[in-house]
Amino acid sequence: MKIKDVIKRILAYHPDIPNYHGCDDYKCGNPEDECTGIVTALSPNIHVIREAIKLNANLIIVHEPTFYTSADEPGWNEPFENSVYEEKKKLLDDHGIVVWRDHDHMHFHNPDSIFTGVLKYLGWEDKAEVDYDTGLFAHYYIKLEPTTVKQLSEYIIDKIGLNGARIIGNPDDVVSSIAFVGHLYPMDYHKKDGTSGEYSVSIIDVLERKADVILPGEVIDWTVLSYVRDAVELGKAKAVINIGHFNWEELGMKYYKDWLPDLIDNRVPVTYVPSKDMYRFVVKGGIENED
């Protein structure tokens, strides 16, 4: 089975995006090669590539960019040298590895294919309420048994395999609901009622009405995060658990490994390789989670 045939089956499985010209494409390698094995990963970092080599897998399917730009074009197209790119590309080329990105098509599923996996592997799949009427991002609300902010944070750290998490809130406060919300960029968005607003500010309403805790993607400090800090200082049990964009979506690519083997009739092995937490935490007295 050629690599291009694997990708063809995946695209047939995904919802069609008319006139698509986006980031979901080959980033390196030869799609005409016979597929010896597949690795699914959130990010094609050096750790993931080395694991693919050990597994004799020549196709890495990823969700996030390969070569350090938002456009995520194949190759390095900036007017300066990039030694890390050169070494990474050589490692891929020397082992005949194809990297193919699957981002937009996964998020085009209803429900979203990434967050279906995240909720599944956090053990919240059957507890989630989904609100698609936000105008920008489908919010996922989970009702929990009462727990502390610290306990909830440790649960997420353990399930995803993180080195830690930054929180805003009182670790001992008891909470009972969490919302997955989108990237808190400083940008306006168009609501479904035709009006516009600032998305990160709209999350204050989520915290006022439906959730004690938010788990966001990217963050800025001066809108809802500042609201949460003030709320906590006023004695309200509110919190933000900030784990970072890649960690936030990691388990979606673990889920990819669940549905892909049947799609390709189990003709080649499929392995999920965690990209691992890119963050370490320097604290007073040392570094948390030192090896």
Domains, the chain, with CATH or none = 3-107+248-272 (3.40.1390.30), 113-243 (3.40.1390.30)
Q: What is the pLDDT of residue 188?
A: 73
Between CA 4 and CA 251 the distance in angstroms is 25
pLDDT tens digits along 6-60: 999 999 999 999 999 999 999 999 999 999 999 999 999 999 999 999 999 999 9
pLDDT above 90 (res 136): no
Between CA 206 and CA 201 the distance in angstroms is 10
Contacts of 100 (CB under 8 A, 6+ apart): 3, 7, 24, 25, 26, 27, 31, 59, 60, 61, 62
Between CA 15 and CA 75 the distance in angstroms is 28
Report the share of the chain in percent with pLDDT over 70: 95
